[in-house]
Amino acid sequence: MKLIFLGPPGAGKGTLAVRVKELLKTPHISTGVIFRDAIAAKSPLGLKVKAVIDAGKLVDDETTIALVKERLSQADAQAGYILDGFPRTIAQAEALETFSVVDKVVNFDISNDGAIERLSGRRVCRKCGFNFHTIFNKPKKEGVCDFCGGEVYVREDDKPSAVTKRLEVYRVQTEPLIDFYCKKGLLVDIDASPLVDEILVGFKKALRI
Ligand code: ADP
Ligand code: ZN
């Protein structure tokens, strides 16, 4: 199944994707993870996008579209995928239609306050990228990843000033995609406010799997 996870930052797209990829045995393709890996590796892509991402703004469409197009051409993405964090603009959604046919778009429904609560407590493993939370999902040992022993840190763009910017960018640039995909009959809404186990139940029900 070819799925898009759509929703504001902090909606839990990445957290649910980790569960769904095991269930459906499809790759989880997160543009945010690809960009963060590139930044950590100090690759040309990483150097190009670091300042934009740290400020909570969007990477330009041309760069992002080329990256996703290349990733979706790989063998493991032919039978299905979870696209997390792409598309984020109408231009990206239109470009995607030229190189892949999506089955469903899962819209994560959460309030602004709910998203802020998630983002402000989010902690990420520098090595494996696992998402923890200071209240909802603490690592067993503070600052250390349960799974790989990596350092657990606060993303630069999870700091308050960037969070406000990202939510605003979402409302202006990404939210119009809800209507875009609704009109195409592809949209499925799920309640993203509960904990991940419950979101997964709602997800399975919504997709009848
Ligand atoms: P979240 O969903 O928590 O906001 P992501 O990890 O998906 O975070 O993305 C982090 C950042 O990476 C975004 O704020 C943006 O700067 C950049 N980014 C990710 N995906 C895209 C995209 N499709 N288009 C433009 N920029 C993107
Ligand atoms: Zn880890």
Q: How far apart are the first and last CA of the chain?
A: 11
Residue 161 pLDDT grade (very low, low, confident, very high; cuts 50, 70, 90): confident
Residue 160 lies in a domain: no
Residue 201 lies in a domain: yes
Query: What's the pLDDT at 20?
Result: 97
Distance CA 124, CA 68 (A): 23
Three-state secondary structure call for residue 144 = strand
CB atoms under 10 Å from CB of 168, counted, come to: 12
Q: Distance from the CA of 116 to the center of ligand 1, in angstroms?
A: 16
**What is the rounded average pLDDT for all residues in the chain?**
96
Residue 138 lies in a domain: no
Residue 145 lies in a domain: no
Predicted TM-score (pTM) of this structure: 0.93
Average pLDDT of the segment spanning 89-110: 98
Write down the residue that tokens 């499809």 correspond to: 26
Residue 39 pLDDT grade (very low, low, confident, very high; cuts 50, 70, 90): very high
* Total number of domains in the chain: 1
Catalytic residue numbers? 13, 88, 122, 155, 166
Q: What is the CATH number of the domain that holds 196?
A: 3.40.50.300
Average pLDDT of the segment spanning 67-95: 98
Residue 60 lies in a domain: yes
Average pLDDT of the segment spanning 23-48: 96
Token representation of residue 62: 């041309």
Q: Which atom of ligand 1 is nearest to the CA of 14?
A: 2
Structural domain containing residue 86:
2-112+173-207
Ligand 1 lining (C-beta closer than 6 Å): 9, 13, 30-32, 35, 52-53, 56-59, 64, 85-88, 92, 157, 166
User: Chain centroid to CA 164: how far?
Assistant: 17
